[in-house]
Chain A
Amino acid sequence: MDPSGFLPLPQAQFHVLVALTGGELHGYAIMQAVEQSSSGVVAMGPATLYGTLKRLCQADLTEELAHRPAGNDDQRRRYYRLTSLGRAVCLAEADRLERLVRFSRANLRPKMT
């Protein structure tokens, strides 16, 4: 499937995908990673986070792990990871945002006379 069909990604979905680029994480760890990557600007509530994860799983961008990677962690915690499609979509969105930032910086920078 073409990753560009998913663009532009909603902000919450993109933040969760970016958090999962670091590896397999459970919900609370994803929230912490989102806070860290956004310097605390994005603070997702629990239901917003799990609703976003549900949508991402339905779109095959992330998947729930059948096993629990951390042996001493609570076994009830559900872990998530990026699928190959999710990785491609995340990269495509990052490229899109990069182009947007480059374009806006070029337009906003004072013109040399």
Chain B
Amino acid sequence: MLTGAPLYRALLHLYPKAFRVHYGDDLTMHFADLVARDGPAAAWRRTALDLLVTVPRYRMESVMTSRRTTISLVSLVVALTAAAVGAFAAGFAPVGVIALVIAVALAVGERSRLARNMRPASREHHRRILRWAAVLGACAVASLAVGLMDLGDRDSWPAGRVIAYNLVFFSTATGALACIAASLRRPHTTTS
């Protein structure tokens, strides 16, 4: 009887490698059990629908949880923050604001995605995020104050220092905002 088991084994290559390597034998045996119980037609009806639903989902999860994606997103956030600093320094404030907003949105989105993939946040984790928000916020305020004191009474501001102060201020302010946004997620209580 033609069961299509070799075809199913071949179709398993559509899944991410880690999933296929770990569960490949189980999936193949499961399919063989389905064929033995329900017949090839019914087994394929169930399995085809399953493939259609799960292949894109597991592929997407694999891409979204890869370290490479996180690193490239973090790089993009840093580049956007640097671009915002440059735009502010060059006098294009609206461009800087847009770049900064996109950077914050990306940072918050990535952080939330990672958090969803991890265990529920504990109260201690929540407090730690708030502590980081406070530290980064204090750094941002301090860099702004020092920058204004240093540059305030000069006729022309040296470009190098302006960029340095802006870089410190906007990166710490972005981090503080990201931490505050992340802390808005409801913490879960832990009993242990």
Contact = CB atoms under 8 A, between A and B. Distances in A.
Interface stretch (B47-55, B71-79, B82-90, B93-101): B47-55
A48 B49 CA distance: 10
A27 B30 contact: yes
Contact of A45 (B46, B120, B188): B46
Interface string B88-129: 000000000000000000000000000000011000000000
Nearest to A47: B54
A6 B29 CA distance: 31
A54 interface: yes
A13 to B, nearest CB: 14
A48 B192 contact: no
Interface residues of A, number: 24
Interface of B: 15, 19, 22-23, 25-27, 29-31, 33-34, 46-47, 49-51, 53-55, 57-58, 119-120, 188-192
Given A2-B191, A28-B29, 19 more contacts: A1-B120, A1-B192, A2-B190, A4-B188, A26-B26, A27-B29, A31-B30, A45-B51, A46-B34, A46-B47, A46-B50, A47-B15, A47-B50, A49-B30, A51-B54, A51-B57, A76-B25, A78-B23, A78-B26
